Amino acid sequence: MKILSVRIDDDLDEKLSFLMARLKKKDKSSYIRQLLEKTLTEEMLEVLCKQVGEKDMSTWKAAEIAGISLRRMMEELKKRNVSGYDEQAMKEDIEYALD
């Protein structure tokens, strides 16, 4: 495990303390890691969906990078109103799946 030091302002610390108290969290480091994981996962999905929408990447490849199923990736694309799935993308997905 790597160590990362981060400085936070008073406003962010108040928000963190509020959430920890309401959620009855005791370990600040553990809770921050959970929040960071959740945020990074969401950001990764956003970037991957954008790349699929711009036809820079197939849906299958994006799902693999994200570590999720193809079905879940398609749900993420739908949730973000990304309609980059066309015949060319389908061919790339099929070719990728067969390799």
The predicted pLDDT at position 84 comes to 60
Convert the pLDDT of each residue in 83-93 to its tens digit. Answer: 766 677 777 77
Please tell me the predicted confidence (pLDDT) of residue 85: 60
Spatial separation of the C-alpha atoms in residues 14 and 73, rounded to whole Å: 35
**Residue 91 domain flag:** yes
Q: Indicate whether 76 belongs to any domain.
A: yes
Return all residues near 88 (Cβ < 8 A) that are at least 6 apart. 55
Report yes or no on 51 lying in a domain: yes
DSSP 46-90: HHHHHHHHTTSS-HHHHHHHHTS-HHHHHHHHHHTT-----HHHH
Give the pLDDT of the chain (99 residues) as one tens digit per residue. Answer: 899 899 999 999 999 999 999 999 999 999 999 999 999 999 999 999 999 999 898 888 999 999 999 889 989 999 999 976 667 777 777 787 787
Q: Is 4 inside a domain boundary? A: no
Domain-embedded: residue 3: no
Report the pLDDT value the prediction gives residue 29, as an integer from 0 to 100: 93
This prediction has a pTM of 0.75
Whether 2 is covered by a domain: the verdict is no
Q: How far apart are the first and last CA of the chain?
A: 34
What span, in angstroms and rounded, lies between the C-alpha atoms of 46 and 65? Answer: 12
Does the residue 54 lie in any domain? yes
Residue 24 belongs to domain spanning:
10-98
